[in-house]
A and B are shown apart, each in its own frame.
Chain A
C-alpha cells in the first residue's frame, strides 16, 4: 500500500479546502492509498479529521499532497522534504481585502502570494482547482499546471436538517463573512429589491466571520434592513445547509474574488437559480447557468433578484442549464482525473528517486 499524506495550511469544520481534503481522503482510501491528513493550524472542531503538522512522519511517505491557500511557515518546511509532491492550489486571496479587518489573515495572504513560486517550483505535479487558479500557478512558474476541479460529492447534499425559520421568498448567500465576499453589497441590493418591489423576502447568510469585529460590522448592516429580514446564520452543519439550499428561492453572490465557488455547484444540484457577479473563476464554473450581474448598479442587481424569484420559465431554464453544468463536475469524472494526477506524481517521484540512486552508485 502506498502512503499518501495531505498537508494544509489550516483546517476547519466548514471551509472548502478542508472539505476537499476530506473528500480526497475518502477517494484515496477507496483507491488503496494509506496516509493521513495534517494541517499547520487545526481548528478544534476539525480535530477528528486532521492532525497537527508537527505529527507528520519524518519519512516513509510515497507522496505528499500539498493544498495551498495561505502562507504557513510549517508548510514551507514541507517543501524541503525529498518526497514527490502534488501541489493543489486553491487560490490565495489578495491581502488588500484584509488589511483593515484582520492583519494576521492579510499577512498570511501577502506572504502566501509572494511564496507561490516556491510551491510551483517544488511541485512534482502542479494543479489548480480551476483554470483561473492554474493560470496563477503557471504565472508563478509551474509551466504545465493542470486543472483538477473540485471533487463534487452529491451524497453530502442528501441529509436534510432544519431549514432557516421564516416566511416569504428566501435569498441565500453561502460564504465566509469576509471583505472580498461583499456581504455589504448583497445586503444593500436585497434591501433595494425588497423596498422597490414590496416583497416580503428574507436574506439568509450562511458562513462564519473572518473576525468577530467584521462579523459585527456586517451584523450592523443586517440590522439596518427593516423587519429583521436579514439573518446571519453563522457556520452551519452540512444537513442544515442542505435544508437551506432546498428552501431557497435564489442563491446570491456579490463576491469580488473567487478561486472556484463551490456554492454554484451546490445551487445547481438543488435546482436553485443563482444571481452572481462574474468574479475570478465563477464564469468558468457557472458558465451560462447563472444570471450574471455585470452592470455595476445595485438597482440592476435588485431587478435580477426579482426575475430569478418571480419568473418561473426563467427559473426552469436556469435549473436545466445548472444540471448541464453539474454534469461537467460529475464525481466519477473528477475522481479519474485526480487518480491520474496522483499516479503521475507517484511515478515521476519514483523515476527521480531511481535517478538519484543510480547517480549515487556511479560516484
Chain B
C-alpha cells in the first residue's frame, strides 16, 4: 500500500524518469512570485512603471451587483463626463511621483558615493566621484 509520504517520493522519481525519456517537455519549475515584489521593496524599474498614473477606467469601474450592467454603464458615463478633471489629477500626481523618484535617485547616488549630508544646491549637482 502506498502511503502519502511514499507517494510524494514516488512522484518525484516518476517525474525524473519521464523527463529522462523525453517527457514533460517545456514543463518548468513552480517557484514563487518575485520575492522583491511580495515581501520586499519593489525594484526601481517597477517604481518607475507605477509612477506614471494612467488608469483604464473600463478596467476599474464596474458593479458587483446582480444585474449591475446599467450601474456599470452609469458609473463609466460619469467618469467620462469628468474626464477633464481626472486627466489633470493623474498628470499632477504623475508629476509629483516622477520628481520624487528623481530625487530618490540623487539621494541614492550620494549615499553610494559617500557624499553624506545635503548639498547646497539641493542635490542637483553631479555626485562627487573619487578617482580610483
Instruction: Give chain A residues whose Cβ lies under 8 Å from the Cβ of B7.
Output: 291, 304, 307-308, 311, 314
Q: Which of B10-18, B73-81, B84-92, B113-121 contacts A (4 or more CB under 8 A)?
A: B10-18
Interface string of A57-77 (1 = CB under 8 A from B): 000000000000000000000
How many whole Å from B43's CB to the nearest CB in chain A? 11
CA distance A303 to B50 in the complex (A): 40
Partner of A291, one of B4, B28, B60: B4
B123: interface (CB < 8 Å)? no
CA distance A196 to B16 in the complex (A): 13
B24: interface (CB < 8 Å)? yes
* Closest residue on chain A to residue B40 by CB atoms: A96
CA distance A296 to B31 in the complex (A): 6
- State whether A314 touches B23 (Cβ < 8 A): no
Partner of B4, one of A99, A294, A298, A317: A317
- State whether B15 touches A303 (Cβ < 8 A): yes
CA distance A45 to B67 in the complex (A): 12
Interface string of A281-305 (1 = CB under 8 A from B): 0000000111111111111111110
- State whether B27 touches A192 (Cβ < 8 A): yes
A359: interface (CB < 8 Å)? no
Partner of B19, one of A292, A299, A304: A299
A185: interface (CB < 8 Å)? yes
Q: Take A304-B7, A307-B10, A317-B1 as given contacts and tell me if A96 and B30 are in contact as well, using a CB distance cutoff of 8 Å.
A: no
Partner of B11, one of A188, A300, A317: A300
Interface string of B80-109 (1 = CB under 8 A from A): 000000000000000000000000000000
19 contacts between A and B (CB under 8 A): A96-B33, A96-B40, A97-B37, A97-B38, A99-B37, A99-B50, A179-B33, A189-B30, A192-B27, A196-B24, A213-B59, A288-B5, A295-B12, A299-B24, A300-B12, A300-B15, A303-B14, A304-B7, A313-B1
Nearest 7 CB-CB pairs, A to B?
A96-B38, A303-B11, A299-B15, A299-B24, A96-B37, A192-B27, A300-B15
B residues at A contact (CB < 8 Å): 1-5, 7-8, 10-12, 14-15, 18-19, 23-24, 27-33, 37-40, 42, 46, 50, 59-60, 62, 64-66
